[in-house]
Chains A and B, each alone.
Chain A
């Protein structure tokens, strides 16, 4: 099953993004904690794009496509803003975040801890970030 959402680049839309993902994840029967983790990871990537690649421009948008497969869930996030290569980005150490009183930098660390695989590609028109979560076989 594939589900698609066009998300306009406003921070106030993040709640809408969460509801959309929650709805899509219902049939997976994942635990509430696992569902929350996936929602969080996708939101972190989208919030990052909305704020840093699109400067919260409400006319810009990103596409989220969720592929529900029997063995994995793939979240594909596509946009045409400034390319942000999530794979090359180096997350800060937690201790450095505390020492420097930083408010940012934790989001992509969460994404890395939650997802099994992260892919990024850009063809100079679109940037595509794929977050992959394997489902445990029963």
Chain B
């Protein structure tokens, strides 16, 4: 099960993921990121505190937008990943390609100071 919530705060959007992302629902994550990118925001935060599991289908969604973020100069930061989920990003070295922070505070700091 996956539920996704998108909210606006200051100049950024927060996409909160709740549950498990796999091949059955990664398209939902894809649609939300696409929607976020279609607006005018230059700052996107992903709240991963309640993300329990992610498979390559979910990782692939993030990876497929990295070029768009770069081209559109959108700052993209993920925060709050639990150890299991963080490990999956780490296995592929994706933690080197995507900005990942421990807390929301650190993530926001990184969005606004950059």
Contacts and interface: CB of A to CB of B under 8 A. Distances in A.
Contacts of A94: 63, 92-94, 97
A103 B64 CA distance: 5
B84 interface: yes
- Secondary structure dominating the interface of B: helix
A47 B55 contact: yes
A104 interface: yes
Which interface class (under 10, 10 to 19, 20 to 34, 35 or more) fits B? 20 to 34
A14 B60 contact: no
Contacts, number: 86
A110 B91 contact: yes
Contacts of B66: 98
Nearest to A102: B64
A138 interface: no
Contacts of B68: 101
Which interface class (under 10, 10 to 19, 20 to 34, 35 or more) fits A? 20 to 34
Contacts of B63: 94, 97-98, 102-103, 106
Interface centre among B22, B53, B64, B93 (most CB of A within 10 A): B22
A104 B83 CA distance: 24
B61 interface: yes
Interface string A28-59: 00001100110010011001001100000000
A102 B83 CA distance: 26
Interface of B: 1, 20, 22-24, 26, 30, 53, 55-57, 59-61, 63-68, 83-84, 87-88, 91-94, 97
9 contacts: A11-B23, A14-B24, A15-B20, A15-B22, A106-B56, A106-B63, A106-B92, A109-B56, A114-B91
